[in-house]
Amino acid sequence: MKKLGILPKILIAIALGIGCSFFFPGWAVRVFLTFNSIFSNFLGMFIPLLIIGLVAPGIADLGKGAGKLLLITVLLAYSSTVLSGVFTYFSCYFAYPHILGNGLTALGNMDMSNTLTPYFTIEMPAFISVTTALVIAFMLGLTTATITGTTMRGFLIDFRDIITTVITKVIIPCLPLYIFGIFLQMGAEGHVGAVLGAFLKIVGFIFLLHVTELVFLFLVAGSVTHKNPFRALVTMLPAYVTALGTASSAATIPVTLQQAIKNGVREETASFTVPLCATIHMPCSILKITAVAYAITLSMGLPSDFGTYIGFIMMLGITMVAAPGVPGGAIMAALGLLSSMLGFDSNMQGLMIAIYIAMDSFGTAGNVTGDGAIALIVDRIRGRKTES
């Protein structure tokens, strides 16, 4: 029997959590709340290590010898990612009050802190703050990229492997049980109806934003390269469909590369930009995170002004480099910023994870399709430099 992926497990966990909430006694609910308390404390302790272990080698891997074309590609990818977050913020700002309506009020009135409590908890304080971890990661990544030695680079790669192993062998397998406990508590306390109603509306709205984002990227690429943007977008659809099945930008690289070349991108340009953008170009991932986070901050009365969000989006655009090649990697890398910059507690983070993973494949598909637009623009810039 084929092994279930993370998305089916999350969906099953949500359904079971809601169903079990109707007949589980209070003592049984508290057993799962105890697990959730310990797991969320572990996440809080692990997040600074995750940031150092994934961001530092991600930046170091960019290297120093690829020249101006590397810088241009990185700037284009980062600008695209940040602009996607800004576009999402303003889309949600104007649309959510009309789309979610009373769902925002219902979510805002949700209190999950008093009725049921864990039997006990185990404190696991982080040894450094998220901000300090980010600074250390940037410092290690940038300096390692400039030095000639290989010892530090090897250490960072080994440390990244350790962190990725913890994610894939411990955190990802535990997520369904964690999500189960969150929805079990919400159902037991009578909050699940409001959450599910908002959940479905947010997912539908995010899908519309994905389509709009991809059309915009290829309109820009088309205007720069003087190619038909819609024909170029259709050419990239095999990469989109492949990513839907794999939920991995890295696994889709061969197809993305092939379709970019079919769009007229020179092979040497595509071979450089496509693998690089698979790591650093995450417009649809940041779109999902921003859209879900804004709904939660708006409903919970947390700061949701543009001044707060632009800092969050710009930092998130950098931490997306830390997204490993596993399902849900981007949201795991973003948990530290959600906590430190937006004030998310463990329950809010659990909702973020559930909604994000429900659309994980669509986000990955949007990312790799957008890589084709970046490849077109970089190839055009490279051609102009060659002509001059």
Quick check: 65 pLDDT over 50? no
**What tokens appear for 150 in the block?**
């290989």
Higher pLDDT, 9 or 109: 9
pLDDT per residue as tens digits for the range 131-148: 788 788 878 887 887 887
pLDDT per residue as tens digits for the range 156-200: 889 988 988 887 788 878 878 888 887 888 777 766 666 677 777
**Domain boundary assignment for the chain:** 6-387
Quick check: 129 pLDDT over 80? no
Average pLDDT, the chain: 81
Classify domain 6-387 at the CATH topology level.
Proton glutamate symport protein (1.10.3860)
Quick check: 313 pLDDT over 90? yes
Residue type, 172: I
Higher pLDDT, 373 or 192: 373
* b/e burial code for range 28-64 (CB count within 10 A of at least 16 → b): ebbebbbebbbbbbbbbebbbbbbbbbbbbbbbbbee
Higher pLDDT, 135 or 227: 227
* b/e burial code for range 167-190 (CB count within 10 A of at least 16 → b): beeebbeebbbbbbbbbbbbbbbe
Higher pLDDT, 212 or 183: 212
- Of the listed ranges 102-116, 158-172, 199-213, 307-321, the one predicted with least confidence: 102-116
**What is the reported pLDDT for 311?**
92
Backbone region of residue 124 per phi and psi (left: phi > 0; alpha: psi in -120 to 50; beta: other values):
beta
pLDDT per residue as tens digits for the range 240-270: 888 876 666 766 777 888 899 999 998 878 8
Q: State how far the Cα of 380 lies from the Cα of 99, in Å rounded to an integer.
A: 40
**What is the reported pLDDT for 5?**
67
**What is the reported pLDDT for 10?**
74
pLDDT tier, 66 (very low <50, low <70, confident <90, very high otherwise)? very low
Quick check: 385 pLDDT over 70? no
**What tokens appear for 360 in the block?**
């994980």
**What is the reported pLDDT for 303?**
86
What's the rounded mean pLDDT across residues 41-63? 77
Q: What percent of the chain has pLDDT over 70?
A: 85
Contact 291, 205 (CB under 8 A): yes
DSSP state of 170: I
**What is the reported pLDDT for 1?**
38
Q: What percent of the chain has pLDDT over 90?
A: 23
Higher pLDDT, 251 or 20: 20
Radius of gyration from C-alpha coordinates of the chain: 21
Quick check: 322 pLDDT over 80? no
**What is the reported pLDDT for 325?**
52
Higher pLDDT, 285 or 246: 285
- Of the listed ranges 244-248, 287-291, 351-355, 374-378, the one predicted with least confidence: 244-248
